[in-house]
Structure 1
Amino acid sequence: MKKVLFATTALIATTGMAAAEVSFGGFGRFGLLYDEGNDSATTDELRIEQRFRLTATGTTTSDNGLEFEGRIRFQTDDQAQGNSNVANNSAAGFAVSTGGFRLDVGHVSDVIDSGDVVDYYGFGVGLTSSIEQSTSFGLPASGFGTSDPGTGIAPTVKLRYTAGDFTVSASITDDSALVTSDTSDTAQAGTRVLEQREEYQIGFGYNFGNYSVGVAFGNEDSDITTQTIDAAGAVTAEVASAGVDNDFYALSFGGEIGAFAFSILIADYDANPDTSYGFSVKYDVGAATEIRFAFADAGDGAADEESYGIGFRHSLGGGVSLRGGVGEIQGDTFADLGVVFNF
């Protein structure tokens, strides 16, 4: 993403000088989207697709060379009903880096989502990249994004170290007791369900020439507490139960051969009856046009567990591209076409 610098502030302290920068960047997209799975009384199969994303990033460097970063995001999207939501915002994410070390804290990507060692998404197809090599996979892969106001975001801590062609990365996400369901209010008794979840991931990656290979392992574990609430809002009873205890892994291999690029993904987790796998490819037809194809088998035991699609990207220059694709997402026909512009 090409970023445009909006403001630069020089901070002068005693005999040293540290430069602090605030930059804004993002993208916009709009077009048409068809999703057979959205055919209902309240949603539309064919609708206008739109997204606007603005990310504000502040960076500075201390006198001893440590680089500090903080960022927040604002975003508005179309909805299944065909209208657009009012822009949501994100929780803050922070980072400190020096040499080959980088520490991310707060609302940040975990190992799998970050792409530090594993290419989880591959070459997405279409305007929205809704068809990827990991479409409908059930692995936890959470990253930096927006949510509704008032939503609690569990903090993640991720540490990455790169030495030459080798990278190691580890992350942990530790939720406080999040309310996942609440049928009570001040006038009516009900129940409240709280979930305590912890997740860790660790991965290793290696680049050799035009190729790269990576693997990530992890576990997610949760405990659930169901509370009975009276009309006055007091807790009258609590029942504890086991949530999930999933071990998982993801393995990827990819590379480039001239105008052709590919990515292969294998993934598995305890709750899935079969191993998930997928692949995606990209071929540069010319300097401005590329063709993409993606396939994913979720292996989740569903009648239609496969997703696949083919699409294109054509650069119009200046960070603007025309994109489109068509395919199937677990039995439902999907297609989109439109324009993306980066700024």
Structure 2
Amino acid sequence: MKKILIASTALVSTAGVAAADVALSGRAEMGIYQVSGTDAQFFTDIDVTFTMSGETDNGLTFGASVDLDEGGGTDNVQIGGVTAPGFSTQNRATGDNSDDGGATIFVSGAFGTVTMGDTDGALDWAMTEAGNVGNPGSIADDETSHGGYLGAYLDGAQDGQILRWDYTSGAFGVAVSLEDDNGSKAANTDVGYAVGFKYALDLSGTTVNFGLGYQKAAGAIAAGFTDQGSATGVSVSASFANGLSAGMTYTDMSDMANDKHYSLGLGYTTGAISVHANYGKYTDNAAVAGGADVKGYGLAAAYDLGGGAVVHFGYGSSKPTGGVSTKSASLGLGLSF
């Protein structure tokens, strides 16, 4: 089969308008995966992304991207090992224009960057998650799907469409974000908001990143969560010249079902080999019977074959205190185009 790579440039001929670039990239994954209590199954996934960018005559830059892997379906989000259906039910980029999951649009200038769509809120933007520390990834995301993992914080509490302004000057960055409440006129469904700060410290080959943020969600976001839940998070991560990376996070969600969350992450790369491990724990999880703690860990390993082909392995394990553990694993090939 002949492989065709497409990268095109759209030249806008209208006087006074700068040229715009349109690029197409893709990723395909194939392999096997298994969740405890089920048989092993085949795994396939294809992700195609269109990226567009341009610049005005006065230097204002703009762009957009759409992920065609997000073309249908809904999301069920896991928080503390509990699946919350409808927490982030998205109509995707092909559906309701007020809910463009998989699509982002930005405008950037001296004032900073304004982004709208399926993007990170300011807290998530500022934090370095444990699963992002030197993680080569896996085809089924086992290492970041366990019950002790915290990823999106309160993003997606309403329609999943986020408006974020961020500004970076040297090593310092700041962001503010809003998430729409679906236009509901019901009581206590104010627009959610977040603020975030980050700072990068360069220590002669070692980069240390600090993140701090606060987020308040709109409305009652899931069973067991209090109305207008909030989260305050802090993260510290470091990348060393020898290929080692490490990070840790702490998040306080004391007015929600999960009281507090802790996580640690480690990564190491040498040559074509990359390995990663992370651990996370929720305390006093009211969404679990008896308010038990929920903890879990994830492992990932990859071998780069070159040319965009990588062999991936992933493993995740979750266990509520005094409960039954669940595990998942995957092995396969990731192909980037």
Normalising by the smaller structure, the TM-score range is: 0.7 to 0.9
**Match of residue 248, structure 1, among 231, 237, 256:** 231
2:245 partner letter: A
2 CA distance for matches of 1:6 and 1:128?
28
Q: Secondary structure at the match of 2:264?
A: strand
Following superposition, the deviation at residue 131 of structure 1 comes to: 2.2
Following superposition, the deviation at residue 175 of structure 1 comes to: 1.8
2 CA distance for matches of 1:109 and 1:61?
24
**Match of residue 118, structure 1, among 120, 127, 130:** 127
CA contact (8 A) 1:215 1:250 kept: yes
Q: Secondary structure at the match of 2:69?
A: strand
CA contact (8 A) 1:261 1:282 kept: yes
CA contact (8 A) 1:131 1:329 kept: no
What is the aligned partner in structure 2 of residue 317 from structure 1?
306
What is the aligned partner in structure 1 of residue 120 from structure 2?
109
- Between 1:267-276 and 1:161-170, the stretch displaced more is 267-276
**Match of residue 208, structure 2, among 202, 211, 227:** 211
- Count of aligned pairs between the two proteins: 284
2 CA distance for matches of 1:194 and 1:128?
39
Following superposition, the deviation at residue 200 of structure 1 comes to: 0.6
Instruction: Flag the 1:138–1:306 CA change in 2: closer, same or farther, 3 A.
Output: farther
TM-score (norm. length: structure 1): 0.73
Following superposition, the deviation at residue 100 of structure 1 comes to: 6.6
1:31 aligns with 2:55: no
Instruction: Flag the 1:57–1:177 CA change in 2: closer, same or farther, 3 A.
Output: same
2:24 partner letter: F
TM-score (norm. length: structure 2): 0.74
2:194 partner letter: Q
1:67 aligns with 2:61: yes
1:55 aligns with 2:49: yes
CA contact (8 A) 2:195 2:214 kept: yes
Following superposition, the deviation at residue 250 of structure 1 comes to: 1.5
1 CA distance for matches of 2:159 and 2:256?
24
Following superposition, the deviation at residue 73 of structure 1 comes to: 1.8
Q: Secondary structure at the match of 2:139?
A: coil
2:22 partner letter: V
CA contact (8 A) 1:56 1:73 kept: yes
1:129 aligns with 2:141: yes
Per-residue CA deviation, residues 74-100 of structure 1 (Å, 9 max, x unaligned), is 117999xxxxxxxx9522421001247
What is the aligned partner in structure 1 of residue 153 from structure 2?
139
Match runs of 1:86-101 below 5 Å: 89-90=92-93, 91=100, 92-99=103-110, 101=112
What is the aligned partner in structure 1 of residue 276 from structure 2?
292
Instruction: Flag the 1:105–1:339 CA change in 2: closer, same or farther, 3 A.
Output: same
Structure 1 ranges of 4+ moved more than 6 A: 76-79
1:10 partner letter: L
CA contact (8 A) 1:73 1:89 kept: no
Q: Secondary structure at the match of 2:123?
A: helix
What is the aligned partner in structure 1 of residue 12 from structure 2?
11
Following superposition, the deviation at residue 288 of structure 1 comes to: 0.4
2 CA distance for matches of 1:337 and 1:165?
38
2 CA distance for matches of 1:141 and 1:104?
14
**What's the Cα RMSD here?**
3.1
What is the aligned partner in structure 1 of residue 218 from structure 2?
221
Q: Which runs of 5+ in 1 are unaligned?
A: 80-87, 144-151, 180-192, 225-241
Following superposition, the deviation at residue 30 of structure 1 comes to: 1.5
Instruction: Flag the 1:325–1:139 CA change in 2: closer, same or farther, 3 A.
Output: same
**Match of residue 283, structure 1, among 268, 280, 288:** 268
Following superposition, the deviation at residue 176 of structure 1 comes to: 2.4
1 CA distance for matches of 2:327 and 2:108?
44
Per-residue CA deviation, residues 193-220 of structure 1 (Å, 9 max, x unaligned), is 9994521110000000111101110111
Q: Secondary structure at the match of 1:341?
A: strand
Instruction: Flag the 1:78–1:244 CA change in 2: closer, same or farther, 3 A.
Output: closer
Instruction: Flag the 1:217–1:207 CA change in 2: closer, same or farther, 3 A.
Output: same
What is the aligned partner in structure 1 of residue 165 from structure 2?
159
Larger of the two Rg values belongs to structure: 1
